[in-house]
Structure 1
Amino acid sequence: MFDYDAELVRYNAHLQAAADIQPDDLVLDIGCGAGQTSRQAARSAREGSVMGVDVSREMVERARLLAEEEGVGNVSFVHADAQTHRFEPQGFTVTISRYGTMFFADPVAAFTNIGSALRPGARLVQLVWQAADRQDWVTAIRAGIAGDRPLPPGLLGGPFSLADRTVTRHLLAAAGFDDVEVTEVHEPIQYGADAADAHAALLDLGMIDFLAPDLDGASAAQAPDRLRTVLEAHDGADGVWFDSACWLVTARWGR
């Protein structure tokens, strides 16, 4: 299982600071993954509670196990799609998401559904990626394995679907959120303790297919070796790091 918590360690502090979870908060964590952000929120909301939601059953099971091992009792996890899941109406005072909202098929409908679970004035705090060409982990790896070919059009969506801050503001406003603020944040992300570790992780993650689906047979066969070369160039004393850029998006539920 790819370690997203290690990858995003530098961004996690930004999310926690912006969320500013209070002791009595009722928190909804969208796309909670293995539950790190949920457990951290639960420790802050010691008189409240946290629900983590993710579409990956494997991640949810891992999240439950880690919460039990760490003795975090005021957190629960649900295997569900936040776009359509029937949440308890007005059941939460804060919703957070660390890169868990970019894959919605219908963002307005999805954010409206999430909003229905929030109390009036409840806060939304999320991190989303800026555009693909602002990410060193995209451009450097893509160039290393595919040369100077332009980025494939498919990379304009997917994890970068909320990269346009104006569009994101309009989507949230259309869904019923007010006071939308979008702040730029830059941090490096880590792919492994060393090049070998990162190589295995990115192959398991399917990074070559994601960043270079347009390679022909010969180039595709050479891609793993080219990926290793890129990773070795980014291998430092404390791991393999690539620059990145995201938006910190905050808003309040206005309905």
Structure 2
Amino acid sequence: MLSGQEGLRNVTYQQADAQVHRFPPQHFDLCISRFGTMFFADPITAFANIGNALRPRARLVLMVWQDHDRNEWSSAIHQSLAAGAVDPVSPASGQDPFSLADPAVAEGVLTASGFAEVGFTDVHELVCYGPDSATAYDFVLGLRMAKGLLADLDTATAEHALQRLRAILAEHDTGSGVFFDSRTWIITARRR
């Protein structure tokens, strides 16, 4: 791992399902997630499990997307691929990149999971989708949202949608990358 090459010996990596993984109890001082917690099938169970791995008063720091309509990247992808659909298509399971976008919802989930002192910091930055529009196109087509929007389209409609996607990505290609406006929350909380 890169951390070992950098001489960091107190860092380990483990891939697991946070909802059911058996973390050591009251072991960690800090939990950080960047754009992962919005996809929990059962967020209260998952955060409670994470909370059990944290020492009392340990910190939780999350970065999550704000609402769809506050994120140009999401709106642009949706508009180019939706073929007339008005609202973004949310996955049937409820796992959604915007599931923690509403501060009241996110605070409710964290409070129910054993966290307190929940706070929100607004982050307004550009997000880069790749060094050029071709790379950004491939990346966007790998997103669950894009796959869902294209899934039910006939061949001709899908091709028109893909042409619109190519055009919107080209419009956002600065020569130094493909950038869209974005809004996120940094959510902080403490384990009770």
Give the TM-score normalised by structure 2: 0.89
Are the structure 2 counterparts of residues 158 and 204 from structure 1 closer, same or farther at C-alpha, using a change threshold of 3 Å?
closer
Cα deviation, residue 137, structure 1: 0.7
What is residue 132 of structure 2 aligned with on the other side? 194
The counterpart of 2:101, out of the listed 160, 163, 168, is 163
Larger helix proportion of the pair: 1
Q: Could you report, residue by residue, the CA deviation over 1:113-133 in whole angstroms, capped at 9, with x for unpaired residues?
A: 101011111111111111212
1:143 aligns with 2:63: no
Distance in 1 of aligned mates of 2:48 and 2:121:
22
Q: Which position in structure 2 is the counterpart of 1:173?
A: 111
Is 1:112–2:48 an aligned residue pair?
Answer: yes
Equivalent residue for 1:67? 3
Which of 46, 69, 79 is the aligned partner of 2:15? 79
Q: How many residues align?
A: 190
Q: Given that residues 59 and 190 in structure 2 are in contact (C-alpha distance below 8 angstroms), is that contact kept between their aligned partners in structure 1?
A: yes
Question: What TM-score do you get using the length of structure 1 for normalisation?
Answer: 0.68
Q: CA deviation at 1:95?
A: 0.8
* Bigger Cα displacement from structure 2, 150-159 vs 194-203: 150-159
Q: CA deviation at 1:140?
A: 1.2
Distance 1:230 1:200, change over 3 A: same
- Judged with a 3 Å threshold, the aligned counterparts in structure 2 of structure 1 residues 152 and 213 are, in CA distance, closer, same or farther, namely farther
Same amino acid, percent of matched pairs: 50
The alignment partner of 1:75 has SS state of coil
Q: Residue 62 of structure 2 is aligned with which of 93, 109, 126? A: 126
Say if 2:165 is the partner of 1:227: yes
CA shift, 1:207, in A, is: 5.4
What secondary structure, in the 3-state scheme, does the structure 2 residue paired with 1:224 have? helix
Q: 3-state DSSP class of the match of 2:156?
A: helix
State the partner residue of 1:37.
none
| AA of the residue aligned to 1:77 | Y
The structure-2 alpha-carbon separation of the partners of 1:75 and 1:210, relative to structure 1 and needing over 3 Å to count, comes to farther
Task: Sort the Cα spacing of 1:101 and 1:120 in 2 relative to 1 into closer, same or farther, 3 A.
Answer: same
Deviation at 1:237, TM superposition (A): 3.3
Cα separation, 1, equivalents of 2:9 and 2:179: 34
| Shift, 1:245, TM fit | 1.0
Matched AA of 2:37: T
Worse overlay, 144-153 or 218-227: 144-153
RMSD: 2.0
Residue in structure 2 matching 1:251, options 182, 189, 192: 189
In the alignment, what sits opposite 2:90? 154
Unaligned runs of 5+ in 2: none
- Superposed CA offset, 1:9-64 (max 9, x none): xxxxxxxxxxxxxxxxxxxxxxxxxxxxxxxxxxxxxxxxxxxxxxxxxxxxxxxx
